[in-house]
C-alpha cells in the first residue's frame, strides 16, 4: 500500500511538474508582451500557437437494482464515477511534438473513495514523413491503445455515445487495452476513396490491476499481482471521403505473468495470454447513426487448477437519432459471453458451483443526450441487464448473491475545454 501511494504521488508530481512548467512558459510569454522587440513578440506567438491545454470532467449518478455499479448503487444512489483529465500538448518543431495527460478517476471500489491519479499518456511524437496526402511517424512513451472505436478516449464522456460503454469495453478489462508503455508506429493516407489509418503499439500494459486479476481467477483472496510481458495492439481504419462510414479492424496480443506473493502461493506460475480481435463499423449521418462492433478474445491461462481458457465473444448494435443538432436519442443491444462454447454458463456452474450468470450479459440501453453548449453535456439512460459477466467483483464481493436480471438508471453531467 505504501509503495502504491508513493507511486501515485510520483505520477501526480510528474503531471504537476509538467503543467507548472508549461504555465511558467505562458507567464513568461505575457511578460514579454510588455517589451516591443519583435523577436520577443515572435517568440510569444510561437508559444501561444504551439502549446495547447485541454481537459474534461464528468460526474455520474447511478441507481441500480440487483447489483452494484461504481460503488453502492443497489437500491440507493451512487455518485461513484468521476473522471477529470487535463492535458497539454506542445508542437516543438514542425515534425516533433510532446503530449501529456493526467487523469483523475473515481470508479467505485476499484479506485476507493478518494479515487486515483494516473498518467494517462505522455509521449514524444516524431512525424518523420509528411507528404501532401499522408504522414508517417513514431510515438514513444505511454500511448493510448487504438482498440475498436472508443477505447482511446474511453474516459472522455463526450466521445462515447452512452454513459456506460458497450460491454466489449467493460471496465474489468479496462487495463488490458488502456495504454501501452512503449511505442507506436502510425501512418495516415488520404486517398480519392477515403482516409486509411494504421497504428501499431508495442510495449507493456499496466497489468497490476486487482479487478483484472480477480476476473481471471475469481478469487478475492489472491495474494500476488499481475505484470505485463511484451504485448502489441494494432488497428487499421478506413473512413469514406465524406466521413459518413467508418470501418476498423483491431488486433491485440497481450501477455501477462503472475508475480507470487510470499513463500506459498497456490497461484505461482500463472501465465496468461489474450489474443483478441475486433471488427467495427459505423454510419454517421446527419440525423441517424448506426454502430456495430464484434469482438473475440482467446484467453489462455496456464497454471490454474482447472483449465480457464475460454473464448469470449462480445458484440453490439447501436442506433442514434439526432432529434435536434444538440439532442440525440440512443438505443443499443449488447451481448457478452465469457465462453462462447458455454453461452449460458451451465458447465461453468456445474464445475464450480458459482452462478451461471457470471458467464454472460445481454442488455438493452436507452439513452438521451443533450449538448447544452459545445462545452457542457447532460445525458440520462436506462439499462435493462440480463446477466453479470461485466459487473465489478470489487463492488459486488459476494459472488453468490449476484442478481441475474437487474436495472441501471444513470445520469451524467460533463464539461470539456
Work out which of 104, 108, 125, 391 binds another protein, going by CB under 8 A.
125
Residue 405, helix vs strand vs coil = strand
Residue number with CB closer to another protein (59 or 153): 153
Under the binding rule (CB under 8 A), the answer on residue 32 touching another protein is: no
User: If binding is defined by CB under 8 A, does position 384 make contact with another protein?
Assistant: no
Residue that has been written with the C-alpha cell 466521413 in this structure: 243
Site for another protein (CB under 8 A): which residue of 1, 3, 34, 192?
192
Task: Tell which one of 20, 33, 42, 261 touches another protein (CB under 8 A).
Answer: 42
Is 83 a residue that touches another protein (CB under 8 A)?
A: no
Task: Pick the binder of another protein from 77, 96, 138, 195 (CB under 8 A).
Answer: 195
The per-residue b/e assignment along 240-278, b for 16 or more CB within 10 angstroms, e otherwise, is eeeeebbebebebbbbbbbbbeeeeeebeebebbbebeb
Residue span binding another protein (CB under 8 A) among the ranges 64-72, 81-89, 228-236, 333-341: 81-89
What is the radius of gyration, based on Cα positions, of the chain? 23
Closest separation in Å from C-beta 133 to another protein: 8
Contact indicator for 233, 147 with CB cutoff of 8 Å = yes
Instruction: For residue 52, state whether it binds another protein (rule: CB under 8 A).
Output: yes
132 lines the binding site for another protein (CB under 8 A)? yes
Within 230-269, which residues bind another protein (CB under 8 A)? 241-244
Q: What is the distance between the alpha carbons of residues 366 and 380, in angstroms, rounded to a whole number?
A: 9
Least gap, CB of 300 to another protein (angstroms): 30
Residue pair 213/225 in contact (Cβ under 8 Å)? The answer is yes
Question: What distance in Å separates the CA atoms of residue 381 and residue 365, rounded to the nearest whole number?
Answer: 7
User: DSSP class of residue 153?
Assistant: G
Q: Could you say which DSSP state residue 219 is in?
A: -
Which residues, 6+ apart, have CB-to-CB distance to 90 below 8 Å? 22, 50, 51, 97, 98, 99
Which chain residues interact with another protein by CB under 8 A? 38-39, 41-43, 45-46, 49, 52, 54, 56, 85, 87, 89, 91, 94, 99-101, 121, 123, 125, 130, 132-133, 135, 139, 144, 152-153, 156, 158-159, 186, 188, 190, 192, 195, 241-244, 284-286, 322, 325-326, 371, 373-374
Amino acid at each position: 500500500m505504501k509503495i502504491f501511494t508513493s507511486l501515485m504521488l510520483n505520477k501526480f508530481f510528474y503531471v504537476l511538474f509538467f503543467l507548472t512548467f508549461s504555465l511558467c512558459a505562458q507567464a513568461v510569454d505575457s511578460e514579454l508582451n510588455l517589451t516591443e522587440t519583435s523577436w520577443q513578440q515572435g517568440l510569444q506567438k510561437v508559444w501561444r500557437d504551439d502549446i495547447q491545454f485541454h481537459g474534461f470532467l464528468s460526474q455520474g449518478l447511478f441507481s441500480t437494482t440487483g447489483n452494484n455499479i461504481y460503488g453502492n448503487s443497489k437500491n440507493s444512489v451512487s455518485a461513484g464515477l468521476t473522471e477529470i483529465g487535463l492535458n497539454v500538448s506542445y508542437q516543438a518543431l514542425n515534425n516533433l511534438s510532446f503530449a501529456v495527460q493526467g487523469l483523475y478517476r473515481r470508479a467505485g471500489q476499484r479506485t476507493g473513495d478518494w479515487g486515483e491519479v494516473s498518467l494517462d499518456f505522455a509521449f514524444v511524437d516524431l512525424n518523420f514523413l509528411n507528404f501532401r496526402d499522408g504522414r508517417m511517424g513514431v510515438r514513444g512513451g505511454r500511448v493510448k491503445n487504438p482498440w475498436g472505436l472508443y477505447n482511446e478516449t474511453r474516459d472522455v464522456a463526450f466521445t462515447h455515445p452512452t454513459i456506460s460503454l458497450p460491454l466489449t469495453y467493460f471496465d474489468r478489462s479496462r487495463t488490458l487495452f488502456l495504454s501501452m508503455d512503449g511505442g507506436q508506429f502510425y501512418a495516415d493516407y488520404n486517398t480519392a476513396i477515403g482516409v486509411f489509418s494504421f497504428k501499431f503499439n508495442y510495449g507493456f500494459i499496466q497489468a497490476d490491476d486487482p479487478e483484472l486479476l480477480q476476473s481471471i481467477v475469481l478469487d478475492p483472496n489472491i495474494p500476488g499481482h499481475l505484470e505485463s510481458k511484451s504485448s502489441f495492439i494494432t488497428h487499421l481504419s478506413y473512413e469514406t471521403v465524406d466521413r459518413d462510414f467508418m470501418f476498423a479492424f483491431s488486433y491485440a496480443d497481450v501477455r501477462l505473468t503472475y508475480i507470487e506473493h510470499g513463500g506459498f502461493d497456490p497461484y505461482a506460475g500463472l501465465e496468461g495470454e489474450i489474443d483478441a480481435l475486433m471488427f467495427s463499423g459505423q454510419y454517421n449521418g446527419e440525423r441517424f447513426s448506426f454502430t456495430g462492433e464484434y469482438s473475440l478474445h482467446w484467453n489462455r491461462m496456464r497454471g490454474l487448477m482447472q483449465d480457464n481458457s475460454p473464448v469470449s465473444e462480445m458484440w453490439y448494435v447501436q442506433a442514434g437519432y439526432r432529434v435536434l443538432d444538440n439532442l440525440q436519442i440512443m438505443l443499443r443491444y449488447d451481448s457478452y459471453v465469457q465462453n462462447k462454447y458455454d453461452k449460458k454458463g451451465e458447465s461453468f456452474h456445474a464445475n464450480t458451483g458459482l452462478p451461471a450468470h457470471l458467464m454472460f450479459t445481454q442488455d438493452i440501453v436507452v439513452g438521451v443526450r443533450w449538448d447544452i453548449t459545445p462545452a457542457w453535456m447532460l445525458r440520462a439512460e436506462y439499462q435493462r441487464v440480463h446477466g453479470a459477466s461485466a459487473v465489478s467483483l470489487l463492488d459486488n464481493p459476494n459472488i453468490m448473491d449476484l442478481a441475474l436480471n437487474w436495472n441501471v438508471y444513470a445520469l451524467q453531467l460533463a464539461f470539456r475545454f
